[in-house]
Structure 1
Amino acid sequence: MPITLTRIDVSAYRAPIDTPVATSFGVMTNRPAVFVRLEDSDGAFGFGEIFANWPAAGAEHRARLVAEDFADLLISQSFNGLTGLFDTLTRKTHIRALQCGEWGPFRQVIAGLDTAYVDLLARRADVSVARFLNPDAAPEVPCYASGIAIAQAATEIPASRAAGFSAFKVKVGFDADRDVALLSAAFDGLKEGDTLCADANQAWDFSAAKDFLDRTTDLPLGWLEEPLPADAPLPDWQALRKAAHVPLAGGENITGLGGFSDAIGSDVFSVLQPDIAKWGGLSGCWQVAQAIRQSGLRFCPHFLGGGIGLIASAHLLAAAGGDGFLEVDVNPNPLRDAFAPWGDTETRGVMKISAAPGLGISELPDSVASYQTANHTLVR
């Protein structure tokens, strides 16, 4: 039956942090998030999260996009089916995004709104999002510790292991000599059964990426993530794949069903990592997840943000099944931890999927209110 939306609440947040989170392309000096809530004419509601990590001013901008560029396309409008909202907003905002060239922000807003819409649909059906997508969804998903700066690996990997993780991902792409030395030392400190991956965050050109691979041939990386820019020429990616002794991973900066179809058929990636907050939301990434699994590749959703997006990513992975891991950023983030994604358990290596309707989130935690920087409420 059609879903008619009557209310939108969208808020931007920024949580201060003591230690900046560094990547090869920039440094986060606080933890931002944008949370959105949709409500329909029957009072059913759903929550979503919009990507806000970059640029530095992105959170408040995304929140205003929802209020000023999407409200007229949502309030009092009706949508049908799982992809109804995603398809409609993608079509109706095409010229707006083209006019300003802000493809990323528009895609990210649509992604967060789609997640909220699917949460609403699952809540109306009185099932979890995971079971709404797949009645045979897994009851829990394995997690890996991400966001570990290579310079802090010697302390952060043991701390993550103590929290229950046995798979870890370090950030490289800073100084080649230092990266290789520290990565080698990190392997020396692993325990039996541990897995270690590396993420370059698009830092290198082909020559630098191949040099890194040549210098780490004795290190059994679980995968090397984004060694090249997502838009690097396909021949460069294919040549690097032939030279690589480890699986290549990517996907957080790929968009569109066509983009993922090309990635699946490229014979480059062993691991694909769509991000529900950057493109596609739950409905778009559910289609991609199924295609990845059907192709025999590994589906490991990317996520680095607040609690809503992390929980939604867990539901998506549970629905998709397979041998994927849920990415869990181990850097401090009150906007994630306030949602208690692991419930009252202290171990972080496995996340159980709540059987509550939707994503199991009935309201925003009180503790996030002090971090709010912008709020917009739109009603019919």
Structure 2
Amino acid sequence: MKIKDISTVTVDNFRTNWVFVIVTLENGIKGYGESTLIGTETAVAPIIGLWAEQLIGQSVLDVTAIQARLQRESYWLTGPVMSAALSALDIALWDAKARALDLPLYALLGGQVRRRVPVYANGWYIGAKTPAEFGEKAKAIIDRGFQALKWDPFGAAYQAMGRAEINRAMDYVAAVRKAIGSDIDMMIEGHGRFNVNTAIEIGRVLEEFKISWFEEPIPPGRPFEMAEVRRAVNVPIAAGERCYSRFDIAALLQAKAVDVLQPDIIHIGGFSEMVLINGLVDSFSLPMVPHNPNGPICHAASMHMAMAWGSMGSLEIMVTDVPWRRQIADEACTFRDGCLEIEERPGLGLTLDLDAAAKYPYQHHALRHFSGKLTNIRPPDAQAWYSVA
């Protein structure tokens, strides 16, 4: 079960780029990993290339030790670029290990606690501009069987919003709540936009809409300021997608800054780090709902965690993606009654068609979050990447 080769391929997906890692063992078994880093993906693959040569000949059974050694010997330990690279490599090593053992990956995480995973919809709003259009699209996605949805109604706002701007944003929230009714979970995304005072003001206005959480109301890396927001509002606070190790998660927990933890396996350090985080979050009796608007490997990895760990709540998914996602990955994923399930296969349960992937090389994409173009994160021909039962 020794490592023979490690390679990468970067694939455009309209919103950003997927950086895929392929670990090949001496017996020909392949494991797949993924990461991304919005706008700076070109920094990720070279780090993996630096590590690859020193890992040849090592046993894939020692994946956790490999991850710890790479962190130690990097000196910097963590950070967005390094953790993105480490995540992709670690996921690929775990996948290869599970395939070598002829086991589904969830078996290495403790075994299956559920087969079907509840999911909530993101990306359902593509192309919507007015409150009425948001309401129509929200109603349409609920009619398809989703029981929860999330979006960012704040346009190009950053740091502060005037009263008129807040009122306009709430018009969108009100339209969606009216369209979907009171029984559907609704989450509001902040993308780390606001200063503390504005976040508190918006959080208080959101209380009347009975939202399930207000996500990243202030920029990441400020757990005590986040805790100040949480104490001042009567809506749950969610954060964690821009955490890069278990220590960042621990800081949020120690500061009592959040009600819902959202680590992203392709940014936090892969399965090796997520195993430690799962126990940490569970010890605080808080739900973990991973950030998951990414590609096929990230989704499969998140599904296996959700199947293995009872502490995980629902799972985020983008309801459509680029049409070539189906060409690249055989995800064997089915949506039914608000849940997703995947076929029982070794490892993550999917393979990548690298010839198909090569047809969609890297393309630079500017960040849309603060330009007012966030609803344009999918191409006109975007389609569901899963089957519907």
- What range is the shorter-chain TM-score in? 0.7 to 0.9
Shift of 1:331: 4.4
String of CA shifts for 1:44-72, please: whole Å, max 9, x gaps: 321110123x12xx2333223322x2223
Residue 185 of structure 1 corresponds to: 175
Find 2:209's aligned residue among 214, 219, 232: 219
Residue 350 of structure 2 corresponds to: 361
Contact 2:227 2:258 in 1 (8 A): no
String of CA shifts for 1:218-273, please: whole Å, max 9, x gaps: 11001110001112251x22221111211100001112222212222322211101
Distance 1:140 1:294 in 2: 24
Q: Aligned in 2, Cα 1:105/1:315: closer, same or farther, shift over 3 Å?
A: same
Contact 2:230 2:257 in 1 (8 A): yes
Find 2:144's aligned residue among 156, 160, 163: 163
String of CA shifts for 1:266-286, please: whole Å, max 9, x gaps: 222111011011121112112
1:54-93 matches, within 5 Å, as: 54-55=38-39, 58-67=40-49, 69-78=50-59, 80-93=61-74
Contact 1:141 1:350 in 2 (8 A): yes
Is 135-144 or 245-254 further displaced after alignment? 135-144
TM-score calculated relative to the size of structure 1: 0.84
Residue 135 of structure 1 aligns to a residue in which SS?
coil
Amino acid at match of 1:201: H
Residue 145 of structure 1 corresponds to: 121
String of CA shifts for 1:69-96, please: whole Å, max 9, x gaps: 222332234455451221121112225x
Contact 1:50 1:109 in 2 (8 A): yes
Amino acid at match of 1:114: D
Q: Aligned in 2, Cα 1:228/1:61: closer, same or farther, shift over 3 Å?
A: same
Amino acid at match of 2:278: A
Q: Identical aligned pairs, as a percentage?
A: 25
Residue 324 of structure 1 aligns to a residue in which SS?
coil
Residue 245 of structure 1 aligns to a residue in which SS?
coil
Find 1:231's aligned residue among 221, 236, 244: 221
Gapped regions of structure 2 (runs ≥ 5): 156-164, 364-389
Distance 1:172 1:113 in 2: 35
Find 2:12's aligned residue among 5, 14, 28: 14
Contact 2:189 2:214 in 1 (8 A): yes
Residue 35 of structure 1 aligns to a residue in which SS?
strand
The answer to whether the aligner puts 1:273 opposite 2:262 as a matched pair is yes
Contact 1:121 1:358 in 2 (8 A): yes
Shift of 1:333: 2.8
Shift of 1:170: 1.0
Amino acid at match of 1:35: F
Residue 23 of structure 2 corresponds to: 38
Distance 2:71 2:149 in 1: 35
Contact 2:243 2:249 in 1 (8 A): yes
Residue 333 of structure 1 aligns to a residue in which SS?
coil
Shift of 1:371: 0.9
Residue 282 of structure 1 corresponds to: 271
Provide the alpha-carbon RMSD of the alignment. 2.4
Amino acid at match of 1:71: A
1:320-339 matches, within 5 Å, as: 320-322=309-311, 324-334=313-323, 336-338=325-327, 339=329
Q: Aligned in 2, Cα 1:292/1:333: closer, same or farther, shift over 3 Å?
A: farther
RCO (CA 8 Å, sep 6+): is it higher in 1 or 2?
Answer: 1
- Higher-strand-fraction structure: 1
